[in-house]
């Protein structure tokens, strides 16, 4: 049997430097754990635009469809703000999500004990926090038609359409229920059924799917109230399922509860391929952070934790994912901090590579 394959798309800004640390971790698994991957690398976002005039070439798209998992760094940067909408770096990422049909976006928000004081909320509100947001990723207002900017009378009108089919809601709801079954068996669905028909349908379909999961305690919340509850007492939640746009916002909110965006991974999963593995793309929740790019200041942990999710969800190596996550906890408990995590006085920051070194050392020590 051939080795499992990974396509690495470092992207823009801090993407390449955090991904360099992920490559070291991937190599470690090859030499120390006999988990050898066929790794290839390609361009996405502004980097692809600079080289090819498009944020994602057809050839890269085709490669992404073939591999067992795609690992993506980050896309975008101020340099590309002037570009036409159709070739903006973000379009590359959105095309990958859409054409790979990655409908279930898993965004865990976990608070590492060593970092609980970095949260803007009180320690007891966030310590031990472990929630999972499942965001619908291939439909809703991000992709709905009609869309565009049109002329109407003597002014322009900007149009986007929120649109969900029953089957689109059904499949993401099932993913969320399945996850809830493996966690605390609690699922909260968020929409705006009070003002949006798509929200009414969302609630109905999720409730219907829930009949197949009688063990899961299902609740519903309006998304605005959900945002409030997430900041008030986030530990009331286990799994949250929501649409594309609300999920975009609620996951940033949840991420910040944990103290640092630089810590959070994500997995975007689609239907199973012929080999039984789901179509999958893994990426950190943070962006390309152009202001600190190339200075060795970026925190590689979110990207490394994204690889841990790949081990768990694509490569059936949950124990190895546990090992990697535990190594990161160790390193944080030892006081290793990239500049985004500085707070305590007298702590010297480590560089992006220094954090990679520390995690590799902790992995070695775990053997």
> Which residue bears the tokens 């390193």?
331
Compute the C-alpha angle 288/284/148, nearest 5°.
Answer: 65
The partner residues of 150 in beta bridges, in order of sequence, read 157
Compute the C-alpha angle 195/196/201, nearest 5°.
Answer: 130
18: left (phi over 0), alpha (psi -120 to 50) or beta: alpha
Binding mask 230-249 for Mg ion (x = CB under 5 A): ------------------x-
Question: Toward Mg ion, which CB reaches closer, 172 or 209?
Answer: 172
CB of 217 to Mg ion, least distance (A): 28
If one asks whether residue 106 binds ligand IPM (CB under 6 A), the answer comes out as: no
Give the whole-angstrom CA distance, residue 192 versus residue 84. 32
In this structure, the number of other CB atoms found within 10 A of the CB of residue 233 comes to: 11
CB of 93 to ligand IPM, least distance (A): 6
Judged by CB under 6 A, the number of residues near ligand IPM is 4
Cβ-contact 259, 237 below 8 angstroms:
no
Q: Which of 93, 263, 267, 308 binds ligand IPM (CB under 6 A)?
A: 93
Residue facing ligand IPM at closest CB distance: 90
The stretch among 87-95, 157-165, 257-265, 312-320 that binds ligand IPM (CB under 6 A) is: 87-95
- The DSSP secondary structure of 293-360, one letter per residue, reads TTTT----HHHHHHHHHHHHHTSS-HHHHHHHHHHHHHHHHTT---GGG--STTPPPPPHHHHHHHHH
Q: Name the residues annotated as catalytic.
A: 142, 192, 224, 248, 252
Q: Report strand pairing: 265-272 vs 278-284.
A: antiparallel
Q: Residue 90 binds which one of ligand IPM, Mg ion, none, with CB within 5 to 8 A depending on kind? A: ligand IPM
Question: Toward ligand IPM, which CB reaches closer, 200 or 245?
Answer: 245
Question: Toward Mg ion, which CB reaches closer, 248 or 357?
Answer: 248
If one asks whether residue 90 binds ligand IPM (CB under 6 A), the answer comes out as: yes
Tokens of 139: 């439909």
The stretch among 43-51, 89-97, 121-129, 359-367 that binds ligand IPM (CB under 6 A) is: 89-97
Binding mask 244-283 for ligand IPM (x = CB under 6 A): ----x-----------------------------------
Give the whole-angstrom CA distance, residue 143 versus residue 165. 13
Q: Residue 357 binds which one of Mg ion, ligand IPM, none, with CB within 5 to 8 A depending on kind? A: none
If one asks whether residue 90 binds Mg ion (CB under 5 A), the answer comes out as: no
Where on the chain is the footprint of ligand IPM (CB under 6 A)?
Answer: 90, 93-94, 248
């Amino acid at each position: 049997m051939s080795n499992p394959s990974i396509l690495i798309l470092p992207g823009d800004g801090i993407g390449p430097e955090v991904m360099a640390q992920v490559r070291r971790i991937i190599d470690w698994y090859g030499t120390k754990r006999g988990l050898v991957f066929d790794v290839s690398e390609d361009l996405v976002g502004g980097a692809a635009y600079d080289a090819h005039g498009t944020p994602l070439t057809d050839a890269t798209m085709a490669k992404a469809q073939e591999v067992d998992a795609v690992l993506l760094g980050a896309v975008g940067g101020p340099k590309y703000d002037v570009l036409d909408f159709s070739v903006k770096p973000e379009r590359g990422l959105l095309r990958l999500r859409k054409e790979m049909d990655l409908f279930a976006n898993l965004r865990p928000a976990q608070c590492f004990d060593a970092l609980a004081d970095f949260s803007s909320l009180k320690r007891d509100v966030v310590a031990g926090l472990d929630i999972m947001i499942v965001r619908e990723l291939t439909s809703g207002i991000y992709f709905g038609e009609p869309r565009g900017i049109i002329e109407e009378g003597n002014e322009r009108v900007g149009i986007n359409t929120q649109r969900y089919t029953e089957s689109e809601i059904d499949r993401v709801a099932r993913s969320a229920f399945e996850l809830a079954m493996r966690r605390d068996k609690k699922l909260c669905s968020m929409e705006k059924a009070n003002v949006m028909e798509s929200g009414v349908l969302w609630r109905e379909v999720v409730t219907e799917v829930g009949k197949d999961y009688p063990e899961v305690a299902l609740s519903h919340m309006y998304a605005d109230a959900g945002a409030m509850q997430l900041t008030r007492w986030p530990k009331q939640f286990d799994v949250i399922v929501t649409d594309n746009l609300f999920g975009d916002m609620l996951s940033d909110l949840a991420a910040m509860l944990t103290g640092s965006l630089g810590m959070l991974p994500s997995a975007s999963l689609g239907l199973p391929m012929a080999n039984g593995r789901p179509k999958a793309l893994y990426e950190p929740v943070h962006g390309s952070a152009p202001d600190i790019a190339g200075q060795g200041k970026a925190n590689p942990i979110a990207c490394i934790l994204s690889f841990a999710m790949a081990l768990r969800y694509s490569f059936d190596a949950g124990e190895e994912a546990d090992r990697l996550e535990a190594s990161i906890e160790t390193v944080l408990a030892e006081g290793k901090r990239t500049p985004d995590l500085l707070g305590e006085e007298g702590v010297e920051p480590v560089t992006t590579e220094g954090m990679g070194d520390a995690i590799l050392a902790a992995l070695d020590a775990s053997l």
